Amino acid sequence: MSSESAEVRAAAAPQTATRTTATRPMLTLIKREFWEHAALWVAPLVVTAALIIGAIFGRAYGPGTMPVSLGDVPATPQGLRAISTTVLVMFSGGSQYVVMSIVLWFYATACLYNERRDRSILFWKSMPVSDAKTVISKFLMALAVVPLYVYVVTLLTTLVASGIIAIPRFSGPGGLSLWDGGAWVRAEAYSFVWLVLAVLWYAPLTAYLLLVSAWARRNVQLWALSPLIAIIVERIAFGTHYLSTWILYRLGPGWQSQSEQWLERLFAGPFYYTSGGSSSPVQLFAGMQPLKGFGNIDLWIGLAVAVAFLYAAVRVRRYRDDT
Amino acid sequence: MTTVIEARNLSKAYGATHALDGVSFSIESGRIVGMIGPNGAGKTTALKGILGLSDFAGELTVLGRNPRTERDRLMQDVCFIADVAVLPKWIRVRNALDYVEGVHPRFDRARAETFLSRTDIRQGSRVRELSKGMVTQLHLALILAIDARLLVLDEPTLGLDLLYRRQFYDTLLNDYFDKERTILVTTHQVEEIEHLLTDVIFLASGHIVLSTTVDAIPDRYLQLTVGPDGVSRARELHPFYEREVFGRTALFYEGRSARELEPLGEVRTPSIADLFVAKIQSLDARRTPAGLGSGAAPGPAQSAPGASS
């Protein structure tokens, strides 16, 4: 090698060494999850399609004119609009979030398990992405990205469905419109707060499923359900139910503040309204303070537990070697 | 020339078996190193340690970093292909490019696309729709577009047909390798890569049997081929291994000069494949004095990989 070419190479070396392009690792990791787990983005759209078809049928075959009363209470157009808008939001959200919970369960148990089963972990680990970043990306999917996506899809769904329902079946003053903008904004705001609370409340469950997913050699679903087996064992062996009380509390809607039975109200929405004896649509949410849920210390303890599970999942992914 | 990999006293046990037992070696930049050994010799274990994929005892530095704790940063300068089957089946070619572009600061997408355009791979295809050879081409396209300093290949051509295997190594040499880069490769198919290698490390049962540059082999090892009547005289010079092929006997010597051997028969430098077989078999012979299936004692030739001459 001549000294001249060595010089040229030396001059070029720093440039090649620093020739890097900007990366967006977290965004890329999030996109990657949607590529692999298409159900995450498809399932909400399927539910939306079902809801909109339901709205079309409802409009086609539902009441064409204003009912005179709801139960014992004389119906006012305003009250009827408010209640139907609220029920629409709650029902759309309810369907979406039930489906989302099922999809997220399978997502969380699969996301760190599949990559080991098909050995693609060897490809992912050949990239400059830390185990912590990988695990956090999957946790963020379940904790924020998917719930937010489902929330937005649901919000748009209620707008479209409302539009369909609001089409008067008969032209003229007798046509029935069931849309109340104020009630819609209120219901959307409440369901957003509840969604945030619920997602945070279940964060330790999500993190637990990720840990199982990173750890299990096989039968990942069985391991995910192992606490339920522990409950049965506790019952039989010790005759106690501390574990089941505690687990059922964590699985239940503990995220609603204690003064509220909003779930009951939600499912009994119209009936609550009619039996409440008031014609005011605000009644449905009366006395509710969803923000109080953030004051529940158990919510925050759960988040600390979730962090511990996540840390364990990162460690397991780093050192487990079964490829 | 700088040291790329420095391993000292590397050990790893799975239960009672020692996959690696106090192995030390170092690899300089600009080399193409073949790590060669029979199944279970510890090759993959060593590679996994180097790549930060599994834990081990001992000291290991790769490009100045500790792979145990700094895998993610290390992977900016290291690429590896485990084997052909590790690209996720569900990913689309386009998304694989998106992914590497999104996480790897040294990935040159245009370069990968140029390489892919020379193949039959379409960007809309999923990996599961591609043939095994095409998956390897895709993986190679991703890797070649990364400006890395160390490339680690673990049985990269396993299960591929001859055409793809040849193409794989040709591409690697022509489009990738230069003096700033280092390639560490393990394979069963020694003959296929022996003309590429600058260094070899032979591993057996968790130990290094031989670690040498290819250039140093002729000075150290010789292969003598004699007819039946020359065998006894050839044995007096203490070959470490011998093998009978078509009625003639090939004897392998360490530390003999060609001048000593030439009067006895035909002398040449053993191929890496033959040297590998000789080294491993003589080792086995020493361990099992009964000589069961070993070539150190006169007996029928073993059919082993590389037993071609």
Residues of A in contact with B78 (CB under 8 A): 126
pLDDT digit string, tens, across residues A234-275: 888 887 777 788 888 888 777 665 445 555 555 444 444 444
Please tell me which of the candidates A13, A120, A130 has its beta carbon nearest to residue B86: A120
**Cα nearest neighbour of A37 on chain B:** B90
Q: Residues A222-232: what's their mean pLDDT? A: 86
Percent of chain B exceeding pLDDT 70 equals 92
**Per mean pLDDT, which range of A57-61, A155-159, A165-169, B278-282 is the poorest?**
A165-169
What pLDDT, on a 0 to 100 scale, did the predictor assign at position B231?
Answer: 87
pLDDT at B290: 46
Q: What is the pLDDT of residue B24?
A: 93
Residue corresponding to tokens 């999942």: A313
Q: Which chain B residues are Cβ-neighbours of A129 within 8 angstroms?
A: 72, 75, 103
Residues on chain A touching B107 (C-beta within 8 angstroms): 21
- Indicate the residue of B53, B78, B89 with minimum beta-carbon distance to A118: B89
> Which chain B residue has the Cα nearest residue A30?
B99
Mean pLDDT calculated for residue range A124-138: 95
**A120 pLDDT more than 60:** yes
Q: What is the mean pLDDT of residues A124-133?
A: 94
pLDDT score for B191: 83
Which chain B residue's Cα is nearest to A120?
B86
Please indicate whether residue B291 or residue A89 has the higher confidence score (pLDDT): A89
CB contact under 8 A, A32 and B99: yes
- Which residues, in sequence order, are CB contacts of B195 under 8 Å at separation 6+? none
CA distance B22 to chain A (A): 20
> How many CB atoms within 10 Å of residue B255?
10
**Lowest-pLDDT range of A164-168, A229-233, A301-305, B223-227:** A164-168
Token reading at B216:
């140093």
What pLDDT score was predicted for residue B175? Answer: 76
User: How far away is chain A from the Cα of B104, in angstroms, using its nearest Cα?
Assistant: 6
Mean pLDDT value across residues B7-17: 87
Which DSSP state fits A74? E
- Residue in chain A nearest B106 by alpha carbon: A20
Quote the minimal CA–CA distance from B155 to chain A in Å: 13
Is the confidence at residue A142, as pLDDT, over 60?
yes
Q: What pLDDT is recorded for position A110? A: 95
Closest Cα partner for B77 from B107, B47, B111? B107
Looking at residue B296, its pLDDT comes to: 44
Q: Which of A90-94, A140-144, B165-169, B212-216 has the lowest mean pLDDT?
A: B165-169
pLDDT band at A169 (very low <50, low <70, confident <90, very high): low
Is residue B46 scored above 50 in pLDDT? Answer: yes
Q: Using CB atoms, which residue from B48, B99, B180 is nearest to A321?
A: B48
